[in-house]
Structure 1
Amino acid sequence: MVGVLGVVQASPSGKSPPMGNGHLPTKHEKESARIENVEIIDLQFKAIGSRKYKLEKLLDSNKCYGLRAREDLPLHDLFTYGGPGGDSCGI
């Protein structure tokens, strides 16, 4: 299993920090943090394409953060993520 992830940790007060550039993903990929052209590095440190693997989106909570794939591109090629964080962002 291979994961591409962003993780944030809430403060003791319960306030979660921003992720990415602090903006929720929109259909305009340059407005939020993004990952393009996903490749996997194997045990011999060779880059292999990710297209032969099934990639799935997983988002614990969409209250303060988001994950979006462009409708006209596979998830392997481009996805955007992030959000402003805030209060009560937990699951």
Structure 2
Amino acid sequence: MQTDNDENLKAHLRSLHRHLQETADVDPELETLLRQLDGDIDKVLDRRAEQEFDNNTFGLSSRTQELAARFNVRHPKVATGLRELGNILSNMGI
């Protein structure tokens, strides 16, 4: 069963991906890290939906904040979105 938080998180991820697509000259390493983060978030949400959540969240909130810091100088919109995403994850206990 998906919660409003899960839906909010997915909507925020879609928005973040739109910002990333609109951003020119994204460092390939950062793009790869963001895609890995996205995949890990999907895995956690799938486990939550199947009620198999096991508190192994891959440090998603802190990883998100680290990515935000790396994007901050060249891509402030993406960095802002990542910080908001980290806050959502933290509030969800992920």
Query: TM-score, normalising length from structure 2?
Result: 0.27
The structure where helix makes up a greater share of residues is: 2
More strand by share: 1
**Scaled by the length of structure 1, what TM-score is found?**
0.28
